Amino acid sequence: MKILKFGGSSIGHKNGFEQILKIAQQESENCIIVVSACGKTTDNLLKTAMLAEMQNTMYKTVLEDISTYHIDLIRTHLDPQNAATSIGFVREKLNEIELLLESIYNLQEFSNKTYDNLLSYGEIISSTLLNTYLNENGIVSQWVDSRTIINTDDEFSNAKIDFGTTDQNIQQTFQDNQNYVLGGFIASNDNGVTTTLGRGGSDYTASVIAAALDVKELVIWTDVNGMMTADPRLVKNAISLPELSYNEALELCHFGAKVIYPPTIIPAMKKEIPILVKSTFSPEKSGTLISKNIDNTRSVSGLTSISDVCSITIEGSGMVGKPGFTKKFLGILSDRGINVIMVTQASSEHGMTMIISPEDLDTSLKSLNEELKYDLLEKIIDPIKFETELSILAIVGQNMKNYHGIAGKTFHVLGKNAINIRAIAQGSSENNITTVIAKSDLKKALNVLHEEFFEEDIKKVNLFIVGIGTVGGKLIEQIKQQYDYLAENNQLKINIIAIANSKKMLFNQEGINLDTWQEDLPNGATMELEKFVDQIVDSNLGNSIFVDNTANYEVADYYEKCLSNGIGVVTCNKIASSASYERYRNLKALSKKHKAPYLFETNVGAGLPIINTLNDLVKSGDKIRGIKAVLSGSLNFIMNNFKEGTRFVDIVKQAQELGFTEPDPRIDLSGLDVKRKILILLRESGYKYELEDIKSNSFLGEEYFETQSVEEFIQLLEKNGNEFDALRQATEAEGKKLKIVASFQDGEAVVGLEKASHDAPYYQLDGSDNIVLFYTDRYVDQPLIIRGAGAGADVTASGVFADIMRAVS
């Protein structure tokens, strides 16, 4: 004899009956088939009662839907000849339900006793219909009314089984030479009044029967391929677990893995009956085997969660050292039948936190305040505190005790992702580590921990990109080209979750399609920075990075918000790091505090590793004493190309078109851009400088920068072309070249035009190249030189890409 249990998700599916038939046909032994109500029938019945209790006549519509749903099931599956009888049967049951609902409506009362009576119809109907269907299709089976065999106490809605009577009934009812179909979940008390075993209780019925008959195997057929490393609805990458011990399964279910009703494990475990969890829709897959002796060396078997819980915290110095408080608090709740899901106590004994279901909060607070009123009055305990909107997340594994650092790893990963832990508990069995976190963090927490424990080899990074012009466009192109390579060789998956330009923004939690983003973006929502950033925060994904490819002040204004929410910032925009020193320090501090990277290598020398080299020097104890640098690829390009036969204005326009200058070339030509760069280098070297501290001797007069628009500026350059020619000719006559050089020496930083002689290291600097010379305590006479392409969309995009990679490493 074998026990097969099919859940609502199986029997209520459009192919459910057929699949169950196929599975039953393949069994060589006779089976006892235990079923739940079809689909969401139990939930819907509950809905009708709640509406009726509030005197809302909408209950009739919901009841009508339940009727239509079942009649459709009959019409699609049953032989037309039997269909009429079955429809008649369903209508009769629905009439009984209607009478029940009318009385709930009139009395405005929905007792637990009525609850059990009402909900039992789901299983009575489903089991009767399935039994008819199986018999029509060659499986000879007998329908059994579970209420006549499963005997319970009077605790309606959550009745406890009387095993003495129940086991006897089971052994007398079921014979080896016969198949049976019956509804799970429902039972009756000594007076024959219907009771139920708790939501999800069909699994339990099946296990109780399996244990009473001491069968070889219990199979729980559901809609997923066994128990998984996490709830697949919350963690997309969850994988099936081939085997679990009873204890592991118990812990996973206790803390929320809905796939099995927790009490189910016990009867099977006592008789050492293996439980197989399989998918009704992929029966060929092996599913999960839950048994006593499992052979695994995994440190963690699965993650599980209860999404909605509350905490009650009782603290008070009067409790210290006085035994009995814990027992007293728990006793108060237990007397009210309240299930305490988790308890944590500070080692100082100064406080205790109990985690309960939200529906128990009011009663718990009322009874604790009432029964502890003298302790409160005498200030032995402080006023009782509570918190709502919390979730429990448990990490389960029977081998956890044999591994060091699981807790450390857990807290590190949660901390790195800005997830605050409200309470922690580790069971003495060391089979689980349980944390309480904000409900809004649950999905993120599950996913980052899942990545850490089950996808160790694959890292994911989620990008939110603002600015998709020259640099941003190239970056997306590079990510697209590198995607497969990185996934395969670096085990890194880069998901671009959002992109935006100044007009539109596009979000896709599953990742933007990199083949069609250009066509898709115009159909996105209107770009509003505030909303864009709010959406990043709300997405609450792990390893999130805000990528700023603009030169925009407003975009940079959101870095603080991102970093404060644990979202990394990678930017080629210099505005923030060259703003006031206070702001720069604050951004660095936020980055440190929230463990969110703030990287801006491309602020100086595009993709050249200037800031990183500097950081390495400083970190290893070196001190920067002097800097000499040609830091503007754009100015260098302009100066290098301004030759005999060219016009200065044309070269500026060309540099602008090639993306070598900032969108507004005045920022380059005024020297402001270079000032910002040397400022950033000085700050990264540990010097507290402001922009005003950097001297500038621009070769262009004030009037150029008082122009109202870029066009006006270009016109002025054109008008004064002769002056530039004269300057060039004079420099060439001396055998020198014009360079805009930034220098720092003896505490003084200057940016200005220099006529470089041929022995200057930057005399030969080509095209848009940059050069930086660092003079340090270690590099005294021979400076450390970094030289290479320092401008252009491609190299800047590569630099941004490199920072992204650094952020996830």
Output 227 or 694, the one with its CB closest to ligand ADP: 227
Cα–Cα separations (whole angstroms), residue 544 to 393, 460, 531, 562: 21, 9, 16, 9
Q: Measure the CA–CA gap between 373 and 384, rounded to whole angstroms.
A: 11
Q: How far apart are CA 74 and CA 546, in angstroms?
A: 54
Number of residues in contact with Mg ion, rule: CB under 5 A? 2
In whole angstroms, give the CA distance from residue 573 to residue 556. 7
Size of the site for ligand ADP (CB under 6 A): 21
Tokens representing 676 are: 């910002």
The nearer residue to ligand ADP, 253 or 342, going by C-beta atoms, is 253
Closest distance to ligand ASP from the beta carbon of 47 (Å): 12
Give 120 or 301: the residue with its C-beta nearer to ligand ASP: 120
By a kind-dependent CB cut-off of 5 to 8 A, residue 185 interacts, out of ligand ADP, Mg ion, ligand ASP, none, with ligand ASP
Could you give the CA distance from residue 108 to residue 615 in angstroms, rounded to a whole number? Answer: 71
Type and span of the H or E element at 107: helix 80-107
Q: Which amino acid is at 735?
A: G
Residue among 261 and 329 whose Cβ is closer to ligand ASP: 261
Nearer to ligand ASP, 261 or 454 (CB): 261
DSSP 8-state assignment for residue 346:
-
CB of 228 to Mg ion, least distance (A): 14
The CA distance from 216 to 230, in Å, is 28
**Is 227 among the residues that bind ligand ADP (CB under 6 A)?**
yes
Closer CB to ligand ADP, 200 or 263, in the complex: 200
Q: Are 590 and 613 in contact (CB under 8 A)?
A: no
Q: How far is the CB of 104 from ligand ADP (least distance, A)?
A: 26
Secondary structure class of 170 (helix, strand, coil): helix
DSSP structure class, residue 488: H
User: Taking CB within 5 to 8 Å according to partner kind, which of ligand ASP, Mg ion, ligand ADP, none is near residue 316?
Assistant: none
- Residue from 1, 2, 3, 8 in contact with ligand ADP (CB under 6 A): 8
Member of 183, 184, 302, 472 binding ligand ADP (CB under 6 A): 302
Minimum CB separation of residue 295 from ligand ADP in Å reads: 21
| Helix/strand/coil for 213 | helix
Least distance to ligand ASP, CB of residue 157, Å: 11
> Which one of ligand ADP, ligand ASP, Mg ion, none interacts with residue 263, CB within 5 to 8 A by kind?
none
The reply to whether 228 sits near ligand ADP by the rule CB under 6 A is yes
Stretch that binds ligand ADP, among 26-34, 223-231, 320-328, 801-809 (CB under 6 A): 223-231
Q: Is residue 261 within 8 Å of 227, Cβ to Cβ?
A: no
Does position 36 bind ligand ADP by CB under 6 A? yes
Q: Which residues within the stretch 142-201 sit at the binding site for ligand ADP (CB under 6 A)?
A: 200
Among 200, 262, 524, 607, binds Mg ion (CB under 5 A): 200
What one-character DSSP code corresponds to residue 607?
A: T
CA nearest to 799, candidates 642, 664, 613, 599: 599
What's the order of all strands across the beta sheet hosting 351-356? 342-345, 351-356, 302-315, 385-396, 432-438, 421-426
Tell me the C-alpha distance between 636 and 756, whole Å: 12
* Residue 232 within binding range of ligand ADP, rule CB under 6 A: yes
CA-CA distance, 5 to 2, in Å (whole number)?
10
Cβ proximity to ligand ADP: between 224 and 289 the closer is 224
Q: Which is nearer to ligand ASP, 184 or 472 (CB)?
A: 184
Tell me which residue of 65, 40, 27, 188 sits closest to 126, measured CA to CA: 40
Compute the 3-state secondary structure of the chain and give helix, strand, coil in percent, each to the nearest 5.
45, 20, 35
Distance of CA 771 to the CA centre of its chain: 43
Question: Nearer Cβ to ligand ADP, position 59 or 246?
Answer: 246
With binding defined as CB under 6 A, does residue 263 bind ligand ADP?
no
279 binds ligand ADP (CB under 6 A): no
- Interface stretch with Mg ion, choices 5-13, 58-66, 328-336, 343-351 (CB under 5 A): 5-13
**CB under 5 to 8 A by kind: which of ligand ASP, Mg ion, ligand ADP, none does 199 bind?**
ligand ASP
Residue 677's CB: how many other CB atoms inside 10 A?
Answer: 26
Q: Determine, following the binding rule CB under 6 A, whether residue 233 of this chain makes contact with ligand ADP.
A: yes
- Given a contact cutoff of 8 angstroms between Cβ atoms, the answer to whether 304 and 396 are in contact is yes
Check residue 259 for interaction with ligand ADP (CB under 6 A): yes
DSSP structural state of residue 503: S
Minimum distance between the CB of residue 7 and Mg ion, rounded to whole angstroms? 5
CB of residue 43 to ligand ASP, shortest distance in Å: 7
What residues contact residue 794 under an 8 Å CB cut-off, 6+ apart? 474
CA atoms of 168 and 158, how far apart (whole Å):
22
Quote the strand ranges of 246-330, DSSP E.
275-279, 288-291, 302-315
Residue 227 CB, shortest distance to ligand ADP, in Å, is 5
CB of 246 to ligand ADP, least distance (A): 16
Q: Is the dihedral of CA 477, 480, 481, 485 positive or negative?
A: positive
Q: With H, G, I as helix, E, B as strand and everything else as coil, classify residue 63.
A: helix
Q: Are 130 and 18 in contact (CB under 8 A)?
A: no
Q: Where are the alpha helices (DSSP H) in 311-354?
A: 325-335
Active-site position among 677, 736, 739, 755: 677
Residue 259 or 479: the one with the smaller Cβ distance to ligand ADP is 259
Q: Is 256 in the site for Mg ion (CB under 5 A)?
A: no
Residue 58 C-beta: closest distance to ligand ADP, Å? 25
Give the residue carrying structure tokens 């998709």. 468
| Least distance to ligand ASP, CB of residue 310, Å | 22
| Least Cβ distance, residue 396 to ligand ASP (angstroms) | 22
Q: Distance between CA atoms of 404 and 402, rounded to whole angstroms?
A: 7
Window of 20-28, 141-149, 176-184, 253-261 that interacts with ligand ADP by CB under 6 A: 253-261
CA atoms of 481 and 207, how far apart (whole Å): 53
Interface residue with ligand ADP among 166, 222, 573, 602 (CB under 6 A) is: 222
Place of tokens 């004994």: 349
Minimum distance of ligand ADP from residue 558's CB (angstroms) = 36
Query: Segment near ligand ADP (CB under 6 A), from 230-238, 470-478, 518-526, 768-776?
Result: 230-238
**Which residues are at the interface with ligand ASP (CB under 6 A)?**
7-8, 36-37, 42, 122, 184-185, 199-203
Stretch that binds ligand ADP, among 18-26, 226-234, 409-417, 750-758 (CB under 6 A): 226-234
How far is residue 41's CA from residue 499's CA, in Å, rounded to a whole number? 42
- Measured from the CB atom, the residue of 277 and 400 that comes closer to Mg ion is 277
Binder of Mg ion out of 2, 3, 6, 7 (CB under 5 A): 7
Task: Give the range of 6-14, 103-111, 421-429, 574-582 binding ligand ADP by CB under 6 A.
Answer: 6-14
Helix H or strand E segment including 316: none
At 492, which amino acid appears?
L
677 assigned to active site:
yes
List, in sequence order, every residue forming a beta bridge with 743; answer none if it has no partner: 628, 750
227 binds, among Mg ion, ligand ADP, ligand ASP, none (CB under 5 to 8 A by kind): ligand ADP
Per-residue contact string for residues 101-130; x = within reach of Mg ion by CB under 5 A? ------------------------------
Interaction of residue 7 with ligand ADP, rule CB under 6 A: yes
> b/e string for 493-504 if b means 16 or more Cβ within 10 A?
bbbbbbbbbeeb
Of 3 and 224, the one with the shorter C-beta distance to ligand ADP is 224
- Are the C-beta atoms of 699 and 668 separated by less than 8 Å? no
Using CB under 6 A, list all residues that contact ligand ADP.
7-10, 36, 200, 222-224, 227-228, 230-233, 252, 257-259, 302, 304
Give me the active site residues, please. 677
Using CB under 5 A, list all residues that contact Mg ion.
7, 200
